[in-house]
Amino acid sequence: MATNDIISFYDLVKKHGMVQRGISYSKGVILMSGRKDAPYVDKEIDGQIVYEGEDVFGARNKKKIDQELSKGNKALYDAVKDYIEGKRGAAPLHVYEKIGQGKWIDRGEFKLVGVRKVFDGKRNVYRFLLSAGHEKTEKVARKKKSREHIPSEVQIKVWKRDNGKCVLCGSTENLHFDHIIPVSKGGSNSVDNIQILCSKCNLKKSDKIGGKMRR
């Protein structure tokens, strides 16, 4: 499965086993969302992901309570600490980003490389840093990632515009974000140059300039 593929939660569970919403460290999986209505503030900055930790489970008014080092937060925190202290390599985590009801974008594998506890204006929260690169190759990978990866905000706008369907045949299965003008031919990651195609239509298009061009 390639990055930028759109999959159902059922297929996600089929691949990794049952995962919980948010952090499933034992499975090596992180579920994130960059949508405005998301319960957590997850962001993508220069090809890296800033992932907000989990709230206190079962607490009332949990959005007003400081996050704690429990469950998923502690697992990520300990992994970062061991990495910084040189006890282990950066932990690999497969990231999926929510794009719509029951639909997720396969973002691929990232490395867990940092953590901060910050005040967000209301309370203290953990912010974990996930990098597409690793150690000496991190700067190179980050540059490549920022050039090739389609930003979250663009994917969300394209998903809404194309109604979650292949623009050529209307299929809702095996979907993928596609560059109308390929990156290799100078295409950008702008909304106007991205469309949704199913795997069959994407295969037919190959690396040719075409598809359903947007104005």
Q: Which regions of the chain are under pLDDT 50?
A: 1, 135-147, 213-215
Confidence at residue 139, expressed as pLDDT on a 0 to 100 scale: 44
pLDDT tens digits, one per residue of 10-29? 999 999 999 887 899 999 99
Distance CA 34, CA 6 (A): 15
In the block, residue with structure tokens 């639909």? 103
pLDDT digit string, tens, across residues 160-178 = 999 999 999 999 999 999 9
Tokens of residue 122, six digits: 């209301």
Amino acid at 83: Y
The pLDDT assigned to 212 comes to 53
Structure tokens at 15: 């691949």
pLDDT of amino acid 25: 92
Tell me, what's the pLDDT at 150? 83
Do 125 and 118 contact (CB within 8 A), yes or no? yes
Q: Which fold has domain 5-149?
A: PUA domain-like (2.30.280)
Q: So where are the chain's domains?
A: 5-149, 156-205
Instruction: Find how far residue 152's CA is from the centre of its chain.
Output: 7
Question: Global pTM?
Answer: 0.80
Residue 210 has a pLDDT of 54
pLDDT at 148: 58
